């Protein structure tokens, strides 16, 4: 079973969203998407998330849900698109967690140089964020030359 952490549904900030700007997202859709993911009905979850994002193009929750479903499906191109829309909506209020998801999706797409630049900017803005620090350590490990082991 795959679980997605439920984003906040009030005007407060959550780990994945900045302050909400639009409350048109039907919260029953959010619960339904999460339930479908829990049931491993990813195609249905994706369809509903996509429909909701199209119906509520300025609602952050709809893009959060779509990006998470795309990540679970490992559809990195679609996850990138959804995260880029979310980042545009959040503007300066973007939380570190969204940047982290974006960095990881970029790595999955093989866009390591872009991911590195985004990580550097994120580390400047949130130098004490533990998840970003961990990602930085992973990036440093990735950058080390691999030594072939003797047979």
State yes or no: pLDDT of 129 exceeds 50.
Answer: yes
Rounded mean pLDDT of 42-55? 95
Of residues 84 and 18, more confidently modeled: 84
Query: Can you give the length of the chain in residues?
Result: 151
First to last CA, the chain: 40
Give the pLDDT score at 26.
Answer: 65
Closest CA to 77 of 88, 89, 66, 61: 66
**What digits encode the pLDDT tens for the residues 63-119?**
999 999 999 999 999 999 999 999 999 999 999 999 999 999 999 999 999 999 999
State yes or no: pLDDT of 9 exceeds 50.
Answer: no
CA distance 110 to 10: 36
Q: What is the chain's mean pLDDT, rounded?
A: 84
Is the separation of the CB atoms in 65 and 49 below 8 Å? yes
State yes or no: pLDDT of 142 exceeds 90.
Answer: no
State yes or no: pLDDT of 8 exceeds 80.
Answer: no
């Amino acid at each position: 079973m795959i679980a997605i952490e439920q984003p906040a549904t009030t005007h407060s900030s959550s780990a994945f969203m900045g302050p909400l700007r639009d409350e048109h997202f039907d919260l029953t859709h959010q619960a339904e998407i999460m339930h479908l993911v829990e049931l491993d009905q990813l195609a249905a979850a994706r369809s509903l998330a996509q429909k909701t994002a199209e119906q509520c193009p300025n609602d952050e929750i709809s893009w959060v849900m779509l990006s998470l479903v795309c990540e679970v499906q490992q559809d990195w191109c679609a996850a990138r698109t959804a995260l880029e829309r979310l980042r545009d909506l959040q503007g300066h209020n973007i939380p570190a967690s969204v940047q982290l998801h974006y960095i990881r999706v970029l790595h999955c797409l093989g866009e390591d140089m872009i991911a590195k630049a985004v990580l550097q900017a994120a580390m400047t803005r949130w130098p004490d964020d533990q998840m970003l620090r961990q990602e930085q350590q992973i990036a440093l490990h990735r950058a080390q030359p691999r030594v072939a082991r003797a047979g």
